[in-house]
Amino acid sequence: MSTQRRDRILAEMGIKPVWRLRELPAEVEREVSAEMHAEASVNEAPEPAQSHFESASEGRDAAAQYPADHLAANLDWDGLQQAVADCRACRLCERRKQAVLGVGDRQADWLFVGEGPGADEDERGEPFVGQAGKLLDAMLASISMERGKNVYIANAVKCRPPGNRTPEVDEMATCRPFLERQIGLIQPKLIVALGRPAAQTLLGGEPKISASRGRLFRFAGIPVIVTYHPAYLLRNLTDKAKAWEDLCFAQDEMAKL
Ligand code: URA
């Protein structure tokens, strides 16, 4: 990639000053890049393929705990949209203006999963339309992508958590069948989890973003890459460069698929 092109896309993502600070002599830069690549390949190999379509249903009292589960599994897009709009399965329905299913290309290779709608999204019915959304659009542009073109954007929960708090684990679990159905319908080639709640609902456990970056996980056999949430990046500007590395890693992995 030419220096000019790199500068342009980093500027689009808003990380150009950070990149300048980190600028290295060409030969050192090559070594760092080779090391990063080696680290990524080591991480990818031992990761067990994990199907949450299967494991998510293990040991569930499905009717009581996951009321959306049976409903969601066989829905088409219209049915899913309606089921999400009508859902009253958890407390998040009480204060939402509207449920927010997702946006984008329903045959996309790329799926980005965020946390949950904020005030702007609750108002407009579309994910990532506020400040974090602007940064997400810049992040997409940094890897030559555009909202709606071969990319679908969804959230771990479809209703706004009051005060934009982080969704609770039980709220994400209740909403997960909807996300699972979205994934089943889209069949993306690669999923990018934006932030911890997204990683948690897709991968289970208590993932840490710093420890999960640069690794390849799986959801129902689909590769999952974890990076920072754009809202976090708005508060932690120096980590934008890491997010860009993660997107480049995702792009490299996509190219291999
Ligand atoms: N943050 C998210 O995680 N999702 C949105 O849709 C908006 C902000």
pLDDT at 251: 98
pTM: 0.79
Tell me what pLDDT residue 5 has.
Answer: 57
Nearest CA-CA partner of 191 in 98, 104, 62, 77? 104
Helix H or strand E encompassing 104: strand 102-104
Ligand 1 atom with the smallest distance to the CA of 198 is 3
Does the CB atom of residue 155 touch ligand 1 within 6 A?
yes
The residue to mutate among 155, 172, 202, 226, having the most atoms of ligand 1 within 8 angstroms of its beta carbon, is 155
Which of 97, 120, 128, 235 best tests ligand 1's pocket when mutated (most atoms within 8 Å of CB)?
A: 128
Helix axes 131-142, 3-13, angle to 10 degrees: 170
Give 113-180 as a DSSP string: EES---HHHHHHTSSS-SHHHHHHHHHHHHTT-BTTBSEEEEESSSSPPGGGPPPPHHHHHHHHHHHH
Q: Which residue's structure tokens are 């009292």?
A: 61
pLDDT of the residue at 72: 83
Q: What is the pLDDT of residue 177?
A: 96
- Report CA(130)–ligand 1 centroid distance (Å): 8
With a 6 Å cutoff on the Cβ, whether 115 touches ligand 1 is yes
219 touches ligand 1 (CB under 6 Å): no
CA 46, distance to chain mean position in Å, is 22
pLDDT at 15: 64
Atom of ligand 1 nearest to the CA of 156: 3
List average pLDDT for each run of 10 residues in the chain, which is 257 residues long. 60 55 34 32 32 32 43 90 96 98 98 98 98 98 97 98 97 97 97 98 97 98 98 97 98 98
206 contact partners, CB below 8 Å, separation of at least 6: 200
Task: Identify the pLDDT of residue 4.
Answer: 60
Q: Is the CB of 128 under 6 A from ligand 1?
A: yes
